Amino acid sequence: MRIGLIGTGSMGSLLIDSFIYFGAITPQQLFISNRSQEKLLLLSERHEGLNVSLNNVDTVRSCDILFVCVKPLQFATLIQEIKDHVRSDQLLVSITSPVQIHHLENNLSCKIAKVIPSVTHKVGSGASLVMYGSRIQKNDQQILHDLLSFISKPIEIKETQARINSDFTSCGPAFMSFFLIKWIDAAVEMTGISREEITCLASEMMLGTGKLLTQGGLTPLQLQDLVAVPGGITAQALSQLNHSLDGVFHNLITTTHNKYVEDVEKLNELLGDIN
């Protein structure tokens, strides 16, 4: 199987590194291109045998599955460039939530899938969100599922729920890190503990919490109740947090969804059928 990847920015590069590191594919099976050369050179240095090009059409012509890892508003130019070169037997995988499957099926003759990855795949962890277009066969689903399983836990979702799901899976690591940064800042400022020491403890705590939720058979509520015994320190702090965080998550979801709708509207204009 030959894999193509266009757009070797942060997520494209992470997918390349992870697919190779976790043994999904060899560098020789990968054909990649990017608008600028610098990131391609860095990837070539890391992975001997990788096939690199500055020409996206070379990438399209060389592969069976093509990952498109450019930003939403960069799709129109790219589609214009590759649309006459894709084949009906090829599978194109887009990794960004606002570009809709119908935008791609309207403009490209190949099979289309949408996968929202996560930075957590760098360590072979986290869920990848998978959505299939109308031309996808059972066999294509199996191939994509097997490939993603090397680096993640693939979960099929409805495209209408891509935003809320990726709020958790792909924005989530940034949200959780933001929460930790604020908490660590306060700890350093108020107690004088070293940032390195408390960051190390906080990271171990996040790992352990994640394991309890994924492997330890606990729901978040059960976990909370195990720690927050009535009348204890945690229970008191949680009551304060509950008060302080009132409305925060509704605002968070409103913000991600408003930005998503804004992007989809721009894409509807840009990706109406391109002739």
Ligand X SMILES: NC(=O)C1=CN([C@@H]2O[C@H](COP(=O)(O)OP(=O)(O)OC[C@H]3O[C@@H](n4cnc5c(N)ncnc54)[C@H](O)[C@@H]3O)[C@@H](O)[C@H]2O)C=CC1
Given the rule CB under 6 A, which of 148-156, 163-171, 197-205, 213-221 is the region that contacts ligand A1CAB?
Answer: 163-171
Binding-residue pattern over the window 164 to 203 for ligand X, x denoting contact by CB under 6 A: ------x---------------------------------
Alpha carbon distance 157, 160 (integer Å): 8
From 3, 93, 116, 271, residue interacting with ligand A1CAB (rule: CB under 6 A): 116
Q: Which of 114, 189, 192, 188 is nearest to 155 (CA)?
A: 114
Beta bridge partners of 111: 91
Question: Contacts with ligand X: how many residues (CB under 6 A)?
Answer: 27
Exposed/middle/buried for 96, CB within 10 Å: 0-12, 13-18, 19+?
buried
From 18, 52, 63, 72, residue interacting with ligand X (rule: CB under 6 A): 72
Residue 97 makes contact with ligand A1CAB by CB under 6 A: yes
Q: What are phi and psi of 177, to 5 degrees?
A: -65, -40
List binders of ligand A1CAB among 164-203 (CB under 6 A). Answer: 166, 170-171
Nearer to ligand X, 173 or 193 (CB): 173
Q: Read out DSSP for 157-203?
A: --GGGHHHHHIIIIIHHHHHHHHHHHHHHHHHHHH---HHHHHHHHH
From 27, 117, 133, 154, residue interacting with ligand X (rule: CB under 6 A): 117
Rounded to the nearest 10 degrees, the angle between the axes of helix 38-46 and helix 10-21 is 10
Residue 12 makes contact with ligand X by CB under 6 A: yes
Secondary structure of residue 116 in the 3-state scheme: strand
Chain residues that interact with ligand X, rule: CB under 6 A: 6-12, 33-36, 39, 56, 69-72, 74, 77-78, 95-96, 116-119, 170
